[in-house]
Amino acid sequence: MPDATHALLVIDVQNDFCPGGALAVPEGDSIIPGINALMDDFAAVILTQDWHPSDHLSFASQHPGKAPMDLTQMPYGPQVLWPDHCVQGTAGAAFHPALRTDRADLILRKGFRRPIDSYSAFFENDKTTPTGLDGYLRTRGITALTLTGLATDFCVTYSAVDAVRLGFAVTVRQDLCRAIDFDGSLAAAQDGMAQAGVRLA
């Protein structure tokens, strides 16, 4: 019988983050069979979904003269500018068709506020605006999380570090994540997670 206090959190396994997508993570689709198999070991499965309006301010297309992967300053701090991706209602925003979405107890959409990006499953990038996931987990009595998904060095690491900060016991299954690895971002993310108290498995 799976432990009712331990949930599987699957981060952003969407078409735009898989090969052929607008912001493809190398081998992003290769982790799906392993994630699907892991779902049966958990009483609770939560999927997150990047869900941006078409004019989201994290898109380079909204900043004249800027290119994808440029850095800009937002009111909440530095922001990587991305190619347009995971636009609400598009095929790119949909979950990868191979992902078992039927096992999800909750699908949490994030990044839908135009002026602010949202890497973490728990907070927008201002680190204060909550997504509501913390309250959902607490009301279900969940105290431990195992994270999988895309991308290790952005949405997975932000989610993991926030979860520890909120008091959850957190494991990241690195074999079931893939990284963008932009300018050394994977190594930095691994160091940051380890220092925060995330168990890297």
Let me know if 155 is a catalytic residue. Answer: yes
Return the HEC string of the chain.
CCCCCEEEEEECCEHHHCCCCCCCCCCHHHHHHHHHHHHHHCCEEEEEEECECCCCCCEHHHCCCCCCCCEEEECCEEEECECCCCECCCHHHCECCCCCHHHCCEEEEECCCCCCCCCCCCECCCCCCECCHHHHHHHCCCCEEEEEEECHHHHHHHHHHHHHHCCCEEEEEEEEEECCCCCCHHHHHHHHHHHHCCEEC
Let me know if 66 is a catalytic residue. Answer: no
Q: Tell whether omega for the bond before 104 is within 30 degrees of 0, i.e. cis.
A: no
Choosing from 12, 16, 84, 162, which is the catalytic residue?
12
Choosing from 18, 86, 155, 177, which is the catalytic residue?
155
Choosing from 18, 110, 153, 177, which is the catalytic residue?
110
Let me know if 110 is a catalytic residue. Answer: yes
Closest to 105 (Cα-Cα) out of 43, 54, 149, 51: 43
Which amino acids are annotated catalytic?
12, 110, 155
